[in-house]
Amino acid sequence: MVYLKRKLDLFLEAWKQDRNRKPLIVKGPRQVGKTESIRKFGIENYENVIEINFVEEPKYKMMIADGYRTDDLIKNISRMDPSKHFVEGKTLLFFDELQELPEIATALKFFYQDGRYDVICSGSMLGIHYGRIESNSVGYKVDYEMHSLDFEEFLWGKGYLGPEVEEILGHMKSLVPFSQVELSVYGGLFLDYCILGGMPAVVREYIERGTFEDSLSMQRQLLLDYEEDVRKYAQGVDQGRIINIFRQIPLQLARDNKKFQISKVASGARFKDYRGCIEWMEDSGIIHVCRCMKYPELPLKGNFDEAKYKIYFADSGLLVAMLDEEAQDDLRANRNLGVYKGALYENVVGEALSKSGYGLYYYKKEDSTLEEDFFVRTAHDLIPVEVKSTNGRAKSLRTLIREEKYEDIHYGIKLTGANIGYSDHIYTFPYFCTFLLKRYLKERDMT
């Protein structure tokens, strides 16, 4: 089976080199590759790996019966399975599906103070338990948030392990257009990535077969798995309402006004009735919420209207799997990403920005046509980002840059299917460059 190189691999290598390393918690949505990457790292770097999965082996929940100190835990694990050996300085303890036993986070303090064993925890629904985990282990752990593959990891999977990413960044910094070959190759790969999404199982099947065969059925199974997670883990909120919102996302993204409206979810639905449902999905890593700014200025945090937002899927493959049959045929046969009025373009860009570490914000001026898809920031600038399904004029973008009342905005970025360009303080980049925007802006800000 093909192993897909992940950015977590690089993080784990650096973590292992830190002599003062703390226990590590890897969180992220289900089936994004956490277990596979951690297991591979353990096998390659430790003489002894002890893996405990609290879903597959619930008996190990009893390991905390005598408390959380390292010696007590080791004794109880050994009693339940005497074949598990603990070699000091050479053992990795891997606790998987931590959401089934979030209390184990209390033990991380003792593992760190003890220092004889390295510890990694992971789980697919940690976001909804993170308050408890954080309070029990603050100061004694390191966090890493894993996502499905971004476009850079997708390129690695396709064999582009050389200078290609740096070359793409070089084009962005120099504003030298891509050659027709580069534009065709990277644009084609990006289209494939958009259709597949970044779930490792789907991408691996595509790489091994060289076709989209079975990708749709795998994506639809993931949808069923996510709905099953809602039924299993959504405690204290209405599960049916969460699923109603989940199924409504593609329909609302297909509208010209992509703002999510609770009133459209069900007859008589009110915002207060659905309070907590969207937050639950966001915490679980299923969706990204893009919040409407009160005014396009810095700072971003706190500068938004809680009642106005868009919802994007954390992995665009989920959106693809929910398209109707006609749109599916158009997308796969004609590679038309313009289906659903550009919703797929926006979702892919929102996903890429979020995977880069950005929060998602947009702006819609009341009683005006002024609207901007996304905003990112540097130390000094607020940068509007417009996603164009065609390489047309960016009227709102030009207004935000030109008018002096938007004093934090000095230039903007337009993402299209066209080549690199620059005009009137607007930098135009192909969609496939989005994963590099944060690096580009950081290095641009330093010059």
pLDDT tens for the chain, 447 residues: list them.
789 999 999 999 999 999 999 999 999 998 999 999 999 999 999 999 999 999 999 999 999 999 999 999 999 999 999 999 999 999 999 999 998 998 888 999 999 999 999 999 998 876 667 677 776 777 899 999 999 999 999 999 999 999 999 999 999 999 999 999 999 999 999 999 998 999 999 999 999 998 888 888 999 999 999 999 898 888 888 899 999 999 999 989 988 888 899 988 888 788 777 888 999 999 989 999 999 999 999 999 889 998 899 999 999 988 988 887 777 777 777 777 666 667 888 999 999 999 999 999 999 998 888 999 999 999 989 999 999 876 667 889 999 999 999 999 999 999 999 999 999 999 999 999 999 999 999 998 776
Question: Are residues 300 and 201 in contact, defined by beta-carbon separation less than 8 angstroms?
Answer: no
- Which pLDDT belongs to residue 368? 85
d(CA 162, CA 220): 34
Distances (CA, A) of 345 to 21, 52, 110, 267, 412: 40, 40, 47, 30, 18
Say which amino acid occupies 250.
Answer: P
Residues 6 or more apart from 232 whose CB is under 8 A from it? none
Q: In this structure, are strands 382-387 and 374-377 parallel, antiparallel, or unpaired?
A: antiparallel
d(CA 65, CA 79): 12
- Which pLDDT belongs to residue 341? 65
Enumerate the H helices of 105-238 as residue ranges: 107-114, 130-137, 151-157, 164-174, 180-196, 200-209, 215-233
d(CA 304, CA 292): 5
The pairs formed by 15-21 with CB atoms below 8 angstroms and a separation of 24 or more are 15/142, 16/41, 16/45, 16/118, 21/118, 21/142
Q: Give the DSSP letter string of 252-273.
A: HHTSSS----GGGTSTT--GGG
- Which pLDDT belongs to residue 338? 67
- Which pLDDT belongs to residue 337? 67
CB atoms within 10 A of CB 329: 13
- Which pLDDT belongs to residue 344? 87
Using the structure block, give the residue that is written with the tokens 């109603």.
244
Using the structure block, give the residue that is written with the tokens 């740096």.
166
Q: pTM for the full model?
A: 0.94
d(CA 259, CA 293): 12
